[in-house]
């Protein structure tokens, strides 16, 4: 019953059409992404994080396969530009691996700030190069304010942090990979349904990630039922439903704006860390929260202004 309700809700988002609704869909997707850290913290130990990352892609691919079945029968896969779909799969797999490795090397605070914070900046630069269209100054103002606020939330009052260059590079690669996925995905969803596009992209990413998980995390070991429940949640909801929302929204807003709006993710993680985990953030973190919210409002205003123009 619950799975049927989830699929019905997921199918309903495909009908969204206005930029305002699309913005809301990205914000909802970011809220779902923001539950990832809390969900993983509540899981029993027993499964390598590399395998968690790979298996959630497998669960997400199964989710997209169910939703995409009518489109597959109609031949939507043949409509895809497969080099672009492969590029999207490489971006998702690269993000999945580089984010984990970068955060482990650079530390959770600095690594998260670099990976998530660099994504919008990479997206703005890539959009400028690929589409020869520079985002509006108002968009840059909101993006930089949101990135600065996200960094303040992640650092949470620490006077200084340091990390090896390799860790910093991996986190920046994660941000670049996510930005690349968003811009490629925007092109693909103009050719086929969001579920079909994500089946191709996440299915390809799962195929690439499983051997990497075996090499980095060793053979797949037995895990507790609670661990599998968390992996299923991460794959079906925090990945499957969230990226369905995100991809559907990219039909109506720019890829760069979609990446910046994903800064709502640390806002959700921040709230859950207080309410569920019991953390007590610093005044600097609360100031960063204000910066992120203000930045998001400015980016929304810039996108809506551009749409009206």
Q: What is the pLDDT of residues 50-104, one digit of tens each?
A: 888 889 999 999 999 999 888 776 677 778 888 999 999 999 999 888 887 787 7
Q: Which residue has the tokens 């497998």?
A: 58
Of 170, 173, 191, the closest CA to residue 83 belongs to: 191
Report pLDDT for 58: 94
Domain assignment present for 5: no
Report pLDDT for 128: 86
What tokens does 203 get? 């299915």
**Whole-structure pTM value:** 0.83
Cα dihedral 55, 59, 60, 66 in deg (nearest 10): 160
Region 172-180 average pLDDT: 92
Report pLDDT for 101: 78
pLDDT of 115 strictly over 60: yes
Of 301, 269, 308, the closest CA to residue 285 belongs to: 269
Q: Which of 40-49, 74-83, 173-182 has the lowest mean pLDDT?
A: 40-49
Count of domains for the chain? 1
pLDDT of 254 strictly over 80: yes
pLDDT of 205 strictly over 90: yes
* Percent residues over pLDDT 70 in the chain: 86
pLDDT of 176 strictly over 70: yes
Give the Cα separation of 177 and 183 in Å (integer).
Answer: 10
* Percent residues over pLDDT 90 in the chain: 25
Domain assignment present for 9: no
Of 6, 16, 206, 4, the closest CA to residue 92 belongs to: 206
Report pLDDT for 2: 44
* CB contact at 8 A, 109 and 156: yes
Report pLDDT for 278: 72
What tokens does 250 get? 């990219």
Of 117, 95, 99, the closest CA to residue 108 belongs to: 99
Counting beta carbons within 10 angstroms of the beta carbon of residue 110, is it exposed (0 to 12), middle (13 to 18) or buried (19 or more)?
A: buried
Of 175, 174, 167, the closest CA to residue 120 belongs to: 175
Domain assignment present for 139: yes
Report pLDDT for 267: 81
Domain assignment present for 15: no
Beta-strand ranges (E) seen in the chain are none
Report pLDDT for 13: 46
Domain assignment present for 10: no
Region 177-192 average pLDDT: 91
Domain assignment present for 54: yes
Q: Which of 21-30, 172-181, 261-270 has the lowest mean pLDDT?
A: 261-270
Give the Cα separation of 149 and 266 in Å (integer).
Answer: 10
Provide the residue range defining the domain that includes 96: 20-308
More confident residue, 136 or 188: 188
Q: Which of 43-52, 92-101, 153-162, 266-275 has the lowest mean pLDDT?
A: 153-162
Domain assignment present for 231: yes
* CB contact at 8 A, 272 and 40: no
Report pLDDT for 166: 84
More confident residue, 251 or 16: 251
**Each residue of 3-42: pLDDT tens digit?**
445 445 444 444 445 788 888 999 999 889 888 777 776 7
Mean pLDDT in the chain?
Answer: 82
What tokens does 244 get? 């369905």
DSSP annotation of 120 reads H
Report pLDDT for 157: 59
Report pLDDT for 159: 52
202 phi, psi to nearest 5 deg: -75, -30
Domain assignment present for 8: no
End-to-end CA distance of the chain: 45
């Amino acid at each position: 019953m619950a799975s049927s309700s989830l699929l019905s809700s997921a199918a309903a988002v495909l009908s969204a059409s206005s930029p305002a609704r699309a913005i809301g869909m990205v914000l909802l997707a970011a809220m779902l992404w923001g539950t990832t850290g809390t969900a993983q913290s509540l899981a029993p130990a027993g499964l390598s994080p590399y395998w968690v990352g790979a298996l959630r892609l497998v669960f997400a691919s199964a989710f997209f396969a169910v939703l995409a079945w009518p489109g597959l029968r109609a031949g939507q896969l043949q409509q895809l530009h497969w080099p672009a779909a492969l590029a999207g799969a490489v971006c998702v797999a690269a993000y999945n691996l580089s984010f984990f490795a970068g955060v482990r090397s650079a530390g959770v605070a600095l690594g998260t700030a670099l990976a998530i914070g660099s994504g919008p900046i990479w997206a703005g630069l890539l959009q400028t190069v690929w589409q020869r269209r520079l985002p509006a100054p108002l968009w840059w103002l909101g993006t930089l304010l949101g990135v600065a606020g996200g960094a303040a939330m992640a650092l949470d009052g620490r006077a200084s942090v340091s990390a090896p260059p390799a860790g910093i590079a991996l986190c920046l690669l994660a941000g670049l990979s996510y930005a690349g996925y968003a811009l490629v995905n925007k092109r693909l969803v103009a050719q086929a349904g969001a579920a079909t596009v994500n089946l191709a992209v996440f299915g390809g990413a799962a195929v690439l990630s499983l051997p990497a998980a075996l090499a980095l995390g060793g053979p797949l070991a037995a895990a507790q039922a609670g661990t599998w429940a968390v992996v299923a949640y991460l794959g079906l909801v925090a990945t499957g439903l969230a990226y369905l929302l995100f991809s559907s929204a990219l039909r109506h807003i720019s890829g760069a704006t979609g990446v910046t709006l994903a800064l709502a993710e640390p806002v959700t993680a921040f709230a859950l860390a207080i309410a569920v985990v019991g953390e007590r953030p610093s005044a600097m973190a609360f100031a960063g929260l204000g910066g992120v919210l203000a930045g998001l409002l400015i980016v929304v205003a810039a996108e809506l202004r551009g749409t009206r123009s």
